[in-house]
Amino acid sequence: MTTFSLCPCGSQRPFFSCCEPFLSGQKAAPTAEALMRSRYTAYCTHNIDYLMVTHHPTKRALSDRTALSRSMQSTTWLGLQILDTRQGQPDDETGMVEFVARFQAHQPGQIHERSRFQQQKGRWFYLDGEHLPPIEPKRNDPCWCDSGKKYKQCHGKG
């Protein structure tokens, strides 16, 4: 597994005490948001097994593994921002996390999604997600591709 000092999930915590215990199977994510963050980190570390095992059993397909492997070959993840969390606490049965995940493939992009999670027997699972329109940075915000330029000078419309 790849080693990071700070966890890729954006928590500003060390990787070894944030998502790594979940990805290695030492612990189960205690909340829907923790599972969301650890799944993002699994994409960053190419941990397909974790993504498969944390996808709800009724929603898994064998083709998912192949699709994940293919997308990981050409995608670099640039950052995760959690926008909203509803329920999803240790005593809840369901939860929702809205997030934006930025990536670089052939060009910069983002996934803006409202994800649903379900807890069964003390373990959280990703159910599905509603894809939402991209969130465009303001003209003078840093560009989402991490170029160091302002959005208007990089991928903005002028």
Question: Does CATH place domain 15-154 in 3.10.450.50?
Answer: yes
Residue ranges of domains in the chain: 15-154
Separation of alpha carbons 112 and 134, rounded Å: 6
In the three-class reduction of DSSP (H, G, I as helix; E, B as strand; rest coil), residue 23 is classed as helix
pLDDT of 32 higher than 80: yes
From residue 111, alpha-carbon distances to 60, 82, 89, 100, 130 in Å are 20, 12, 24, 5, 10
Separation of alpha carbons 109 and 150, rounded Å: 16
Kindly calculate the radius of gyration of the chain based on its CA atoms and give it in whole angstroms.
Answer: 16
pLDDT of 49 higher than 70: yes
pLDDT at site 82: 96
pLDDT at site 102: 93
Separation of alpha carbons 37 and 80, rounded Å: 8
Structure letter (DSSP) for residue 136: P
pLDDT at site 45: 96
In the three-class reduction of DSSP (H, G, I as helix; E, B as strand; rest coil), residue 84 is classed as strand
pLDDT at site 157: 58
pLDDT at site 126: 98
Q: What is the pLDDT of residues 100-150, one digit of tens each?
A: 999 998 888 899 999 999 999 999 999 999 999 988 778 888 776 667 788
pLDDT at site 125: 98
Please give the structure tokens belonging to residue 149.
């330029």
Q: What is the pLDDT of residues 1-19, one digit of tens each?
A: 456 799 999 999 999 999 9
Q: What is the pLDDT of residues 60-108, one digit of tens each?
A: 887 889 999 998 999 999 999 999 999 999 999 999 999 999 999 888 8
pLDDT at site 139: 80
pTM to 2 decimal places = 0.89
Q: What is the mean pLDDT of the chain?
A: 91
pLDDT of 54 higher than 80: yes
